[in-house]
Amino acid sequence: MTTTSTGIRVAAVGDIPEGEALTVTAERTGHDGPISVFHDDSGDFFALDDTCSHGQASLADGWIEGGQVECPLHSGKFCLRTGKPQSMPVTEPVRAHRLEIRDGEIWLYAGEEAAG
């Protein structure tokens, strides 16, 4: 991990396979909880708070497809771009964080709102 005034380098693009996620601890980001970086089947990367707003489950363990992540605990879905709920039983969003891909590296801006 490299920290700069312009974000935190969390991984190289090739480190996260398509359809998978990497969880970054709160200790690494300085944020109030873990943040997961998702590699969607479209090839895009997104960052959300890792803990489901409905239950204490890691979203990084969920199913990632079509711009959404499905919670592994109760199957509620979240939009990867915005963190907004997409299906019941989820009713509260999770925070979406800004990511930047620079020179093949993924940079996380914890706490900065993702463009949605």
Q: pLDDT for 13-53, tens place per residue?
A: 999 999 999 999 999 998 899 999 999 999 999 999 999 99
Structural domain including 22 reads 2-113
Can you give the pTM of this predicted structure?
0.92
Residue type, 104: G
Q: What is the pLDDT of residue 31?
A: 87
User: Which pLDDT value is given to residue 52?
Assistant: 95
Strand intervals (E) in 2-115: 2-4, 7-12, 21-24, 35-39, 45-49, 63-65, 68-70, 77-79, 96-102, 105-113
CA dist 92 and 99 (Å) reads 22
pLDDT at 114: 87
Report the pLDDT value the prediction gives residue 6, as an integer from 0 to 100.
66
Structure tokens at 12: 């190289």
Nearest to 92 by CA among 52, 60, 58, 56: 52
Number of domains in the chain: 1
pLDDT of residue 116: 58
What is the reported pLDDT for 22? 98
For the stretch 46-99, pLDDT in tens is 999 999 999 889 999 999 999 999 999 999 999 999 999 999 999 999 999 999
CATH code assigned at 16: 2.102.10.10
